Structures are given as C-alpha cells and as structure tokens.
A and B are shown apart, each in its own frame.
Chain A
Amino acid sequence: MTNHWVDIKNANLIVVMGGNAAEAHPVGFRWAIEAKTRNKAKLIVIDPRFTRTASVADFYAPIRTGTDITLLSGVIRYLLETGKYNKEYTLAYTNAALLVNPDFAFEDGLFSGYNAEKRSYDKSTWSYQLDEQGFAKRDDTLADPRCVINLLKAHVARYTPEMVETICGTPKAAFQKICEYIAETGAADKTTSFLYALGWTQHSIGAQNIRTMAMIQLLLGNMGMAGGGVNALRGHSNIQGLTDIGLLSTSLPGYLTMPSEKEPTLEAYLSKYTAKPLADGQMNYWQNYPKFFVSLMKAMWGDKATADNGWGYDLLPKWDKGYDVLQYFEMMHAGKVNGYFCQGFNPVASFPNKNKVVASLSRLKYLVIMDPLATETSTFWKNHGEQNDVSTADIKTEVFRLPTTCFAEEDGAIVNSGRWLQWHWKGADAPGEALTDPEILAGIFLKLKAMYAKEGGKFPDAIQSLSWSYLDPHEPKPEELSKELNGRALADLPDPKNPGQFLAKKGEQLPGFAALQDDGSTASGCWIFAGSWTQAGNQMARRDNSDPSGLGNTPGWSWAWPANRRILYNRASCRPDGTPWDKARTLIKWNGEKWVGIDVPDFKADEPPGSPMGPFIMQTEGLGRLFALDKMAEGPFPEHYEPFETPLGTNPLHPKVISNPAARLFKTDKEQLGGHEAFPYAATTYRLTEHFHYWTKHARLNAIMQPEQFVEIGEELAAEKGIVHGDTVKVSSKRGYIKAKAVVTKRIKALNVNGKKVHHVGIPIHWGFEGVAKKGFIANTLTPFVGDANTQTPEFKSFLVNVEKA
C-alpha cells in the first residue's frame, strides 16, 4: 500500500476490484465501511462473483475473469475524452507532456521490437526523446502528437463501452456508471482508493492490471493524497517484509537487484543501477544505490568486505536467469535439482498444477521442511487415494521435517500491508522440541561451516566470510538480527551540515538511511529499514496510538518504512506552489524553510515550492509514469490479452495475438493447457471468510465453521447440467480433477461475452489431505503452470474447467 489501512477512511470512493476485502481482509475492510458511514463515501465492487464485499456496496458490476485491463482502459478513455481528470496534476506530476521516441509503435496487439522466437521485446524504442543534455523533451502545450498523453489517448481509443461489454461481459450501462463514479474523484478535493489483492496479481497480465489502475490514480491526482493511493492488500502477514528483505531469486534487501553475470565487476554493477536523471533538478533517489549496496555488503561480510575486494562482490552469486518457483519446479521436474527447503511454505497446495509439483518433489534427493504444522508438502509421498495417488515405494526423496515455533512463541517484527513494522512478543514455549527458524538455520549453517573448515570443498570463501557475530552463534536473537537490519556506524560519521557534530558515532545504531555511506563506514542489512532500531531503541515496539490530525495518521505507533513515512509520494498532496489540493487533508506544508507536517515529507526537506523537482523522487524524471518506458515486459501501455486458457478462443481486439506475447510458457505446460471446447467454463480460485489459506484447516474452530470442500456454480449452469445444491461434482481441467460439494448460487451469473454465454465456476482453495477439517482435494490440481510476464506469479485466477455430476 502506498497509504495504509486506517487511511481508507479518508476516501470519497472505494473501488474493490481484483479482491474481496470483506472476506479476505475483514478487519481492514472495516475502514471502507468507516468511509461510507463517516465520510459519505461510495463503495463499488467489480467482480465475477457477487461477493460479501459486493453485498455492502453502493454499486456492483460483474466482469469476466481476466479482463480487468479492458474495463480500466475503458475508464481511462472516458476520463480523457470527457476531460474529467485532474489536468494540473497530470501535467505537473506525470510524464503526460514528455515526448516519446518516434520509432515507438503499437500495431495488431504488439508493440515495436517484438521477437516472436524469444517471446520478448527489444525495448529500445520504449523511450523518451532526449535533448543534448540527455534529458527528456517535453511539450507543455500537449500539442505534439508524440506527447505521452496523446499516444495514450490513441491507445485506449479502442476500449469503447461496446468493446468493454464485448470482452468483459459488463453491461454498457453498468460500465457507464462505474466511469461516472470514478470521474467524480478527478476533482482536486476528492479521492478514490482502489483496494485490490491476488484477484489482480494472479494473472498472466497481473502486473499490467495494477498498472492500469495506477495510471487512473495518476490522472485523478490521487497519488500522495490521504484517501487515495495504490493499495495492495497483501495475502500473508509478512510477505511484505520478506519481499522487503529481498527473498526473491534476483533480489537483494531493500529492492536492490542481485548482480547478474552480465555485471562481472562491482563497477559494472553499480554503474548499471546507479540512476542517472532524465530531467533537470530531480532528487533521483536511486543515485544513492552504491551507499545502500556497500552498506549491505558490510552487513553480510563484515571485515571481509573491503574496498580492495569490491566489498566482497565476488562472494555473491551471479544469476544468468531468474529462478522463480515456476522455473525451478520445471527444472526439478526435469530432474535437474537435488535439494529443496520449504520454510513455512506448502508448495503442494500453493503452486499450480499440483500433480506436476508432486512429481517434481519425487525427483529430489532431499527435501527439508521447516514448519509448525504437518503440511501436504511434508507428506507428498503418502498415498491418499484420489486426493494424492502416488506410489510411495518409488519415491526416493529423503524428507526431513523440522518443527518450528509459530508467531506466539517468538519475538520479532512483521510488516503489514501499510508497511508498518510491528514488533511482537513471545507468549509461551513451542510444543515439544520445536526451535525458531534462526536456531535451525544456525544449526545447519554452523555444521556446514565446520565441515568446510575441516574437509575443504568448493568455494568455502563466502561461507567462511559470512558475518556471524551473534552472542550465541547457535541462537541468533531477534534483537541482534533486527539491529543488523537497521545498521550501525563502523566509524564516526561527521555531519556534513554541522561541523563538529556527528550523524552517528562508531558503533552506534544508525538514525536512518540518510546516514548510509559508500565507503565502508556503515553497515545496514536493509536500507529501507534504517531507522527501525536506532540509538533510541526499538522503534517498531512503539505503542502511541494518538492521531493528532484526525486523518488516521498515528506516527507513534510501530514504525513504517521508509523513514516512518505513512503516505508515500505525499509531496504530491500539494500543488507545485505548495498549497494543498484539499485543505482538509493537509499532510505536509512548506514553513518557509522546510517541509513539515503530520507525515514525514516524501521530498527533499529544504526544496522550496515551485522548484522543478518532481514529487516521485525515486524516478529518474521525478514524475509518475503513464508511459512505463522499459520497465514492463509486455509493453509501456497496458493491453488486453486473454488468459492462457480463454473461454473465447480468440482476442476480439487482435485475433493473432491472443494471450500475453511476453509470458514464458514451458513446452510441457503448453501441452497441458486446455481448450474451450473440452473445458468450456471460466474458473477462478479464492478464499473464504472463515479460513486462511491451508493453515486454518488445522485449527478446530475454523474447521467447524467451514468443514467441507465445495465449489460454487450459478443456477443456470446447474440447471443445464442437472446439478442440485449439495450434489457432489467433479471439476476437471486438462491437468487433473477435484471432487467437491456443489453450492448452487445466485451470486454467479452467466455473462454474455463476444456473442457467447460464459459461465464461471468458483473454487475456494482451503482444503487438502492434512488437517482437522474434512479431507479434500488440493484446488491447485486444476490451475495452469503459467505466470505473469514480469513477476511469474501464476494464473490462478483465470483458467478453464469442465463440471459434471460425480
């Protein structure tokens, strides 16, 4: 979230799309209700199902799964054609006026530079026109046809209300109403908050779903505003934090990039990632990349990271391609992987095409499970009849199952969707011999380290160099690890602005990331967490819930990254001249010397109003991007591509380019995609109010509330198939089948799409062959093994099935 949970109450319009907050994030959703009751906000829901969120909405419209870009592009078209958007904001704070490379083009579903064989783009034309200084050219009159906004207008012109109805199945009149609701918040003193979740990310076009919405927010002038923003309601309690810490194949902590083999030296790496400005007078914050990276290297390798060895650059692995989970299970399936660790993660249930996942795990030499619970992944080798029909004796994988503590049995911090790092405390010991994750990792690591010291082996350097200065090496304490993440001064750091003063003295915890250096005098495990554990102590444990402004801003409660800032891009809450767009939601203001306010200003503190510095300080041109340059895999503008399993069998916009042309698809998985003739129904998976993923089926109370697996089908489809409420049905895709009870409902209606009737089948995910609830099938037996072109997040939300009475 660029904003945070409580801030939702400041919105004038709440759009829930690609999510179902009332059921998946029930307590957070109370703030949407607060906005309705206290702020007279409207709530609209756009979803294939009439969800519980829809049941309390002011307006609901159905949409076919996987077609959100079409509807949202239709909204952009409406805003641009009617002029109902914040023009001053768009001109000043987005790249609307910047001029695009004359060779950039879009034709028949493809952008310029496509390579069909590689299924990827040469993105060199996805760029600005530059002047002699290397800065982007702009035309503030917007007369030049190559202005971003003019290209955008042309791009979205095809997304007419008729086309929206044809592709999405959303009736024209309902779409018109949605446009009107959203356009009202183009006024400077009105905001929309979009709440979305996995219903947008889990598509082969997931990242572009979100981008289309973000572009609407820029046009409406809602970024940086209280009650606005791009608000991802993340799925788990700490995937925000674990992503912040860079636990993704090609990431490092703090959104730094893991070096690849194309950057053989530190110099090559830093020059690639140290951003150069694309406009004059910008903050261009990524220019500080070397400070963040060198401080990370000092945290990783301690004294072993020196200027002479490039701060230990060679100790880090260099990638040739991303090893995301789809890629890695493909390798595992091909027998190219020997060992795998699953730490609090249950891939048999959580990954697509469960049968492929089980077959892959069966080819490992060893599998290590670290978990508080008995997961399906830990017992994938057991035969559970139809639910897991494996030949145990043939599976040669050695499986180690290590019991870990759970949340209640340890101290530490997790990061919520609003980027708050909240410290928690241990309340009891774990059962039996369970250990914390750090104790287990230490146990294995110290064994390995000793083996390498005694016996030698391949490249022991990084293992022996890893900084491990914990009081008890076998039991690194949360406090020690947390302080490492924040970082400390390794030498006295003189304050350049106040001679004789110091930013920090040697050995002290750093006050924030502004103190980081690129000369080895600071160490910090995750630069965006700098400020979370300072000399003043653990900031994440703070519990002052006072809200002095009444805008729901509680700066004394826990600690938010970055710099305890609660609303990102908040400089954009004021006009270029420094006056707020809406006085009632003033976040920051200029006091004549610097920016001050109820939030930590997201700007250079002493940069006066009226300067050319843009509010989006992480961007090289300081502006929000309606044109994404080369940052997305499938194009700088969003385009509708059908799900890889489409009920239409075509793309009404461009029949030759049906699905995402830049998405990666492995050969064996391509063969396992089903067509709409054999599998005619559009399916989507989701969560229920009473369950959390595959965890709460282990908890008695939740198992009592929702004991048995079911699927939801509409009344019309049920009648066609002779299925009545309570029947057991078999739902199959090209990849396998599940059996479950049928819930026949009015909440899912057939849609008229491109001249044909499309039915949806709703598939809750929560069952499996382990737990205290009734045993069930893994819903992901059905889902396809293809991901988003940028993130490789699987397309769980849009695929094809058949339904029969079992």
Chain B
Amino acid sequence: MQVNRRQFFKLCAGGMAGSTIAALGFMPEKALADVRNYKLLRATETRNTCPYCSVGCGILMYSLGDGAKNAKSEIFHIEGDPDHPVNRGALCPKGAGLVDFIHSPNRLKHPEVREAGSNEWKRISWEEAFERIARHMKADRDANFVEKNADGVTVNRWLTTGFLAASASSNEAGWLTHKFTRSLGMLAVDNQARV
C-alpha cells in the first residue's frame, strides 16, 4: 500500500479506522525510512591521519563493536574528515582504499621464523622471537663491538648489525627506535627519507 504523507494524515483524520491501518503497519515509506537506524550512527567515529603520502589528510574511521569483552571493534568504513583544513573531507584514490589496507589478506598475524635454508614459515611465540633475536644480537655485538678505534679514541660502535627505520610509524615509535639503536651503539640507522 503506497501512502504519502498527506494521505497518511487524511487516513488518521478518519479516526479509529485510520489509526488501525497505521497500527497494522501500513505506514508511509518515508516515515519507515526515518525510524530505520543509519549504520554510521551506531558506529564509533575515530579520528586518524592517512598513512600514505605527506599531505596528512584527516580521516574518520567508523567501527562497530563497543569494545566490551566479546564485542571486538572492527573498522568498516573510512572517509575524509570534513573539519580538516587541508583535505576538507576529501580523499584521493589511494586513501579511498584505506579500509582494504587495514583488512588486507596479507596482514601479518603471528610472529614467524624462516630457518636457514628452509622454504617455509614456522609460527613461533613472541617470547621465542624476542629470545632468539636478542641472542643473535648479543652474540654479534659481543663479537664485533668496537670500543676504541686505531688511534685509541673511544668510539663504542657496533657496525655489523643495522636498522632500517620506517616511513609511516609515529614519532613516538621513532623516538624509541632512536633510543634502542643508539644505546646499542648502532650507526647503520636510516629511514625512508634516505631514498
């Protein structure tokens, strides 16, 4: 039954009969649409910055799941932040695919190791990963650390292990990377700015 807004009021003005029609569900389509909950309204909106180029477009990430014990949040939609002074709500074709980046089938999920000569990955625990990596580092550092150069100057450097830092990780991760590498004596430290 197609009923527009004006006809609906006419029906209602008919008294009991009209009300009954309404109660039976013959509501106008528009009114029905109004009570249906728009998906984004139930979503949690989180502000973030596009991680691709250096324009730094503001983005709004929409997730469902309220974060309760068994209601894990998942981001299902990303759009440009209209308040942002640079992008004013726009995103480019790169940024338009951000939600597929987050949910890429190629996201890594567990620590793994590829043993020497092997053709496969083996899943390991974080504990094993940290232990084995630290063991490698200590063995290499203890064997090759240079405390003084040929002229007897204190140089305290470790040149046989290097660290390539990121291009999109946060300043905070970058600062801890700096502390980590320099305290170990590393000089082969670079980031994406080099290339």
Contact = CB atoms under 8 A, between A and B. Distances in A.
Interface stretch (B13-21, B27-35, B111-119): B111-119
Given A235-B192, A476-B176, A792-B194, A692 B94 contact: yes
Given A319-B187, A338-B140, A242 B51 contact: no
Contacts of A796: 195
A337 B162 contact: yes
A757 B107 CA distance: 47
A411 B121 CA distance: 30
A696 to B, nearest CB: 6
A334 interface: no
Contact of A408 (B102, B114, B134, B167): B102
A342 B177 CA distance: 12
Given A249-B190, A557-B85, A702 B168 contact: no
Interface in B62-95: 63, 65, 72-75, 80, 83-87, 90-95
A691 B178 contact: no
Interface size class of B (residues with CB under 8 A): 35 or more
Contacts of B91: 27
A372 B108 contact: yes
Contacts, number: 488
A792 B194 CA distance: 7
A793 B97 contact: no
Contact of B119 (A366, A392, A452): A392
A494 interface: no
A438 B48 contact: no
A403 interface: yes
A690 interface: yes
Contact of A416 (B54, B119, B153): B54
Contact of A396 (B116, B132, B178): B116
Contact of A235 (B50, B54, B83, B169): B54
A687 to B, nearest CB: 9
Contacts of A401: 108, 111-114, 121
A341 B119 contact: no
Interface in B144-195: 144-145, 147, 149, 151, 153-180, 182-195
Given A340-B162, A444-B133, A698-B106, A247 B156 contact: no
A24 B56 CA distance: 13
Contacts of A113: none
Contacts of B116: 395-398
A438 B171 CA distance: 11
A482 B172 contact: yes
Interface string A688-700: 0111110110111
Nearest to A260: B155
A399 B136 CA distance: 11
Looking at chain A, what size class is its interface with the partner chain?
Answer: 35 or more
Interface string A238-258: 111111111111100100001
Contacts of B185: 317, 459, 462
B51 A458 contact: no
Given A317-B157, A366-B136, A481-B172, A434 B108 contact: yes
Identify which of B104, B131, B135, B169 gathers the most chain A CB atoms within 10 Å of its CB: B169
A325 B97 CA distance: 31
Contacts of A5: 55-56, 86
Contacts of A730: none
A407 B48 contact: yes
Contact of B85 (A258, A393, A445, A545): A545
B174 A698 contact: no
A254 B10 CA distance: 73
A567 to B, nearest CB: 15
B130 A416 contact: no
A235 B96 CA distance: 18
A341 B55 contact: no
A705 interface: yes
A701 B104 CA distance: 10
A515 B142 CA distance: 40
Contacts of B115: 398
A199 to B, nearest CB: 14
B42 to A, nearest CB: 15
A483 to B, nearest CB: 10
B98 to A, nearest CB: 8
B48 A427 contact: yes
A31 B84 CA distance: 14
Nearest to A380: B114
Nearest to B95: A27
B101 A248 contact: no
Contacts of B170: 238, 241, 410-414, 424, 437, 478
A233 interface: yes
A544 B88 CA distance: 13
Contact of B158 (A317, A543, A693, A792): A317
Contacts of A476: 172, 176
Interface in A407-427: 407-418, 420-422, 424-427
B52 interface: yes
A663 interface: no
Nearest to B145: A458
B53 interface: yes
Contact of A245 (B50, B65, B175): B175
Contacts of A447: 130-131, 133-134
Contacts of B129: 400, 402, 443
A772 interface: yes
B29 to A, nearest CB: 33
A763 B88 CA distance: 32
Counting chain A CB atoms within 10 Å of each CB, which of B98, B104, B156 scores highest?
Answer: B104
A412 B49 CA distance: 10
Interface string A763-805: 0000000111000000000000000000111101000000000
B171 A338 contact: no
A584 interface: no
B5 interface: no
A31 B86 CA distance: 8
B177 A368 contact: no
A742 B72 CA distance: 46
A722 interface: no
A458 B139 CA distance: 10
Interface in A437-451: 437-438, 441-445, 447-448, 451
B126 A443 contact: yes
B66 to A, nearest CB: 12
B171 A412 contact: yes
Interface in A9-56: 24-28, 30-31
B46 interface: yes
B165 A261 contact: no
Given A249-B187, A458-B145, A772-B105, A413 B171 contact: yes
Chain A CB within 10 A, most for which of B96, B98, B112, B114: B114
Given A243-B191, A794-B195, A341 B109 contact: no
Contacts of B156: 314-318, 459, 462
A529 interface: yes
B119 A699 contact: no
Nearest to A323: B188
Given A403-B109, A408-B98, A426-B46, 11 more contacts: A28-B53, A253-B175, A317-B156, A337-B159, A402-B129, A403-B110, A436-B173, A447-B134, A448-B134, A457-B138, A698-B105
22 contacts: A24-B53, A236-B192, A237-B51, A241-B174, A242-B171, A247-B190, A248-B194, A317-B157, A336-B160, A340-B163, A345-B164, A371-B108, A381-B114, A400-B111, A406-B51, A406-B102, A407-B48, A424-B49, A425-B46, A427-B48, A699-B101, A701-B100
